[in-house]
Structure 1
Amino acid sequence: MPDHVLTRIANRTGIITLDRPKALNSLSLAMVRALTAILLEWRLDAGVDAVLITSSSEKALCAGGDIRFFHEVGNATPQGGSALLEDFFTEEYALNHLIHFYPKPYIALMDGVVMGGGMGIAQSGPECGLRIVTERTRMAMPEVNIGLFPDVGGSHFLSHAPGRLGMYLGLTGLTIGAADALYVGLADVFVASTDLPALNALIETTPGAQLPAAIRAFAAAPVGESELQANRARIDAHFGADSVAAILASLEGDASPFAQKALSAMRQRSPLMMCVTRELLLRGAALDVADCLRMERSLVRRNFEHGEVLEGVRALVIDKDNAPQWNPASLGLVTDQMVARFFEPVWPAHAHPLRDLV
C-alpha cells in the first residue's frame, strides 16, 4: 500500500485508513489503485467479513479527486488527452462500481468533509453498505463549481434521490450536513463525534459479520432538523422546472433565504456544466449504476476536450482569483447542441474503457 492508504484487520473487519491529511485525503491515482487492490484482495479473503473506510483526520474522509493533478496533466496535453487522466477516471469509476456492489458489508465513516470523489468511495450499495455521518460531516457534489459535473456515480445516486433533491444538490453544488444527508438518503446512521472513541472500541471488539447491526444499535438521532426537509416543497417546485434557465427564473421569484442562497450559488457555476448536469441526471434516472458510470466516463473526456474544468480549477484552486472565464460566459449562450456534444459517444461500445462493468 502507498503511504496515504493504511490497512489492517481487526476482529475480521478490514480497516482502510486514508492518511493524506494536508490534502484532505484527495485521491491520487496511486490511492485509487491501492484501494482497488485491497478491496479485491479482501473480497476473496475468508478472514475478512466486513470492510470499514475511515480517515486519520477528523477534518475529512475525502475531499475528492486530486484536482491540482487534473489541472497539471490536463494542461500539459492538447484537448486534455493525457494517458494519466484517462487512467485516473477509468480506474476511479471502476473502483466506485466495485464499492457499490461489494459483496461484504462496506462501512464508510463520513466524518468531516466528504465531497466529489469522496462520495464515490462512500456511497456503497444498499444491500451491504452502511454510511455513518457526524455533526462534522460536510457533504457535497460541488463539481459544477469547478466546471465539471457530478461524477463518481453521482448521475445515479443523485438522480435516484427523492423528488428533486438530487437536482438541487447537483446544480447548486451546495454543502449539506448530517440531518440533510440522512433525509436525502446519502447516509444511514448518525454518531456524534464525541462518541467516536466508543464507536472505535465497538469496531475493535465486534466480529465483522455482526458489525453493521451493532453500529445501527449504537447510532443516535442527529441533532437539528433537516433544512432540505423543511424546504422540500420549494425544492421540488423550483428544480422541477424544464430547463436551467427556468429553474433560475423560478428561484428569482422566491424571496426566501433558502431560494436566494441557491440562486446565488447557481449564478457562480459554469452555465454549460449546469445544463450538462441537468441532462445527466435526467438520463441517469433511467440507467443502472454501470451505465451511469459509462456515461460519466464519456462525459469526462468531452469535458477535458472542452476545457471547462481546467478553467474552473485554475480560478478556484491554482490562481485563486475566483473569477472563472466560463465558456460560454452566460446561460443564454448555451445551446442544445453544446449540451448534446457531451453525450456523443467517444468510443465504440466494444472499446469503452468501462465496457466490462456488469
Structure 2
Amino acid sequence: METTRMNPSTDVIVEERGRTGLITLNRPRALNALSLDMVRTLTATLLDWAQAERIEAVAIRGMGKDGPFSAFCAGGDIRFFHQAAVSGDARIEDFFTEEYTLNHLVHRFPKPYVVFMDGIVMGGGMGIAGHGSAQALRLATSSTRMAMPETNIGLFPDVGGGWFLARCPGALGEYLALTGEVIGAEDARHAGLADGVLAVDALPAAWERLAEGGAAAVAALRGEASQAAATGASLAASRASIDRCFSLPDVPAIVGALEAAEDDWARKTAATLRKRSPLMLHVVLEQLRRARGMSLAEDLRMERGMVRRCFERGDGGHSETVEGIRALAIDKDHAPRWQPDRIEAVDAALVARFFDSPWPAHAHPLRGLD
C-alpha cells in the first residue's frame, strides 16, 4: 500500500511505501530551509511513525531545483528570524522550542533513520540528520557541502551543535564551530558527522531499495556505504595543527597561535576568525566546552536559553544575530558591525549572560526532554 501526504504548503512530502516512511523536504528555492510549518509536519510525522507497527524504517532527502536530491537542507529560515526579531513576532520563540524538540526526537528515534545528505547540509539541516544515533544512517556524497556556519551571522551552532561537535575527534569540533568551515564527504566521515558515502548517481536506486525493503534494506545499505571510498579530504592533513591550536583555553590564545604560525593554512584560518563575530566566538567556545559533559537534552536546554539571548536587543538596540543576518541576507553588504569589534575586547560578563537561563528549571520550555 502506498500513501502520500503533504503539508498545506507542500513544503514537506510524506509517503508510506511498503513498511518504509519516506520524507522529502520540498522547498528547493530556499534550499529546503526549515519553516515552522515544516518543523511541525516533520515532528507530527515522526511521532506517528515511531509508534506505528506498519513502519519499520524512515528515509529523508531534500528536493533540488532540478528534482530529488542535490540539496538537503540549508538550515532555519534566517530571513524569518530577522523579520520576527525586528517586528516582535512571537513565532520565533515557537520555532526554536519546536525545532529543538524535533532534534531530540530525531536523535532518539527508535527505528532506522536514513538521511541522504546530498548537496547543502548546514545548520538546521544537521539538526535533522540524526546526531549520530545508533539508528541513524547519515549518507554523504561527492556533492555534500556540510557546515555549521552560524558564527558568520553572529549566532552559534545550535540544534544540538554543541553536543555533536563536542564529540568530534580531537579539537575538530572547536575548529568547525568557530570557523564555520564547509567540508565534504570524507571530511564529514573523518569528523564523525557522516556514517557512509554513496555516489550521486546511486542515490535514486538506493531510495527505491529503501522504499521496497524496509529495515533489511537499511542494513544492507549501511554495510555498502561504510566501505565506500570518498575524495576531497583536508581535515586529516591539518589535524595536528587543528588539535594544537583549537585545544587552547580561549579564543585569543587560539587566534594568537594561528597568527604566530608561518604556514598558509594557519594564516587563512586566523583571517577567517577575525571576520566572525568576536563575541560569538567566545560564546561558541564556551558552549562546546560545557556541552562535552552534557546529555543532548541538557545541551538543547542550554542552547534554547542561548538563542533567546541572541535575539534580545542589548545596549542601543543591538543584537549580534540580527546584525549578522542583516549584513549577510537582508542588505547583503557583508559588513556586519560587530559589538565588540575585536576578539581581545570581549568582556567575560557579556559571554556569561548567554549561559544565564531566562527561565527557572521548572518553567523551561524544554523541561520535558530526557
TM-score range, shorter chain: over 0.9
Partner of 1:216: 222
What are the superposed Cα offsets for residues 222-242 of structure 1, whole Å, 9 maximum, x if unpaired? 332521111111100010111
Measure the CA separation in 2 of the matches of 1:64 and 1:265.
21
Q: Find 2:114's aligned residue among 107, 123, 131.
A: 107
Amino acid of the structure 2 residue aligned with 1:215 = L
Out of 315, 327, 345, the position equivalent to 2:327 is: 315
Structure 2 counterpart SS, 1:231: helix
Provide the residue aligned with 2:164 in structure 1.
157
- Which residue number corresponds to residue 66 of structure 1? 77
Q: Which residue of 2 aligns with 1:340?
A: 352
SS at match of 2:228: coil
1:45 pairs with 2:52: yes
- More moved, 59-68 vs 117-126: 117-126
Structure 2: 5+ residue stretches without partners: 1-6, 314-318
Deviates more, 1:107-116 or 1:217-226: 217-226
Aligned with 1:60: secondary structure? coil
Deviations 1:87-125 (A, max 9, x none): 000000000000000011111100000000000001344
Cα RMSD for the two superposed structures: 1.2
SS at match of 1:56: strand
Query: Does residue 18 of the first structure (1) align with residue 25 of the second (2)?
Result: yes
1: distance between equivalents of 2:353 and 2:325? 22
Q: What SS does structure 1 have at the residue aligned with 2:265?
A: helix
Structure 2 residue 313 is the aligned partner of structure 1 residue 300 = no
Does 2:248 correspond to 1:241?
Answer: yes
Distance 2:290 2:256 in 1: 23
Asked if the contact 1:124/1:130 (under 8 Å) is kept, the reply is no
Shift of 1:60: 1.4
1:216 Cα offset (Å): 1.9
| Cα deviations by residue, 1:254-283 (Å, 9 ceiling, x for unpaired) | 232322232121111000000000000000
Contact 2:185 2:232 survives alignment (8 Å): no
Give, in whole Å, the separation in 2 of the partners of 1:309 and 1:294: 19
Distance in 1 between the 2:268 and 2:123 partners? 21
Contact 2:142 2:231 in 1 (8 A): no
Aligned ranges for residues 1-358 of structure 1 at < 5 Å?
A: 1-2=7-8, 3-57=10-64, 58-77=69-88, 82-206=89-213, 208-219=214-225, 220-224=227-231, 226-306=233-313, 307-358=319-370
Total equivalences in the alignment: 353
Q: Secondary structure at the match of 1:9?
A: strand
Letter in 2 for 1:216: R
2:19 touches 2:211 (CA, 8 Å); kept in 1? no
Q: Deviations over 1:175-209 (max 9, x none)?
A: 00000000000000100102223212322332x12
The answer to whether the Cα contact below 8 Å between 2:197 and 2:230 also exists between their aligned partners in 1 is no
Higher mean C-alpha deviation, range 189-198 or range 137-146: 189-198
Give a deviation string over 1:147-191, Cα, whole Å, max 9, x none.
000100001000111110000000001100000000000000100
- Provide the C-alpha distance between the structure 1 equivalents of 2:207 and 2:49, rounded to a whole number of angstroms: 21
CA distance in 2, matches of 1:222, 1:177: 13
Secondary structure at the counterpart of residue 87 of structure 1: helix
Structure 2 letter corresponding to 1:332: E
* Residues 178 and 222 in structure 1, CA contact (< 8 A), matched pair in contact too: no
| Structure 1 counterpart SS, 2:301 | helix
Q: Distance in 2 between matches of 1:59 and 1:321?
A: 28
Which amino acid in structure 2 is aligned with residue 259 of structure 1? A
CA contact (8 A) 1:106 1:124 kept: no
How far apart in 1 are the matches of 2:261 and 2:144? 29
1:212 counterpart SS class: helix
Letter in 1 for 2:186: A
**Worse-superposed segment, 338-347 or 217-226:** 217-226
Q: Aligned equivalents of 1:30 and 1:83: distance in 2?
A: 15
CA contact 1:174–1:265 (8 Å) conserved in 2: no
Q: Which runs of 5+ in 1 are unaligned?
A: none
C-alpha contact (below 8 Å) 2:72/2:119 kept by paired residues: yes
CA distance in 1, matches of 2:130, 2:49: 18
> After superposition, what is the alpha-carbon deviation per residue over 1:64-106, rounded to whole angstroms, capped at 9, x for unaligned?
00000000010112xxxx4211100000000000000001111
TM, length-normalised to structure 2: 0.93
